Chains A and B, each alone.
Chain A
Amino acid sequence: DTAVSQTPKYLVTQMGNDKSIKCEQNLGHDTMYWYKQDSKKFLKIMFSYNNKELIINETVPNRFSPKSPDKAHLNLHINSLELGDSAVYFCASSQGGGVYGYTFGSGTRLTVV
């Protein structure tokens, strides 16, 4: 039973489209995150939610909108997709600040053509 699951695993779409990536965790963690790994392999945080409340919002275009319907789910919606949005997006969860580390999903590879 996957601890942090993301869907879809692969997503190919055209510029200008709107797409969503879903994430669910069954670990009972209270904090969830979205990270982006770009072509240079930087793993950079985008957003963090604690008990459905946004606590971290890095410098991310407002075309990206996270939504947390409950503390087990954190979805990422992207409007008007651009070529530069192509990357691997990782969802993660932790209990509190994550002193024992984050648990990551397997990633969603987004390709914008």
Chain B
Amino acid sequence: DQQVKQNSPSLSVQEGRISILNCDYTNSMFDYFLWYKKYPAEGPTFLISISSIKDKNEDGRFTVFLNKSAKHLSLHIVPSQPGDSAVYFCAASNYGGATNKLIFGTGTLLAVQP
């Protein structure tokens, strides 16, 4: 029962171009969404988040878009840099629920080519 799905296991883009990472979810009770970035042999690090009351949140080169009707969110990185090469995890939570826990997708490996 995979409630958060990242259907692209990998993505390769050229330096300076836009990277778009996608995530779909099935649980309509989710009200908070986060993106994490993970380098090899390190733990995931928080990147950006969005509440279900918004459809866009921007932080520097990173923008997250939320389409609640489609149960879809995406992370845009513009411009992409070689240092952005990492695994990106989408995560979702129901903060209004009895217990808060993050449900993660399986990740997308982003490779930014110089």
Contacts and interface: CB of A to CB of B under 8 A. Distances in A.
Interface string A31-60: 001010000111111001000000110000
B44 A99 contact: no
Interface residues of B, number: 23
Q: How large is the interface on A (under 10, 10 to 19, 20 to 34, 35 or more residues)?
A: 20 to 34
Given A41-B106, A99-B95, A90 B44 contact: yes
Interface stretch (B12-20, B62-70, B72-80, B96-104): B96-104
Contact of B43 (A45, A96, A105): A105
Interface string A64-103: 0000000000000000000000000010100011111111
Interface of B: 2, 32, 34, 36, 41-46, 49, 87, 89, 93, 95, 99-104, 106-107
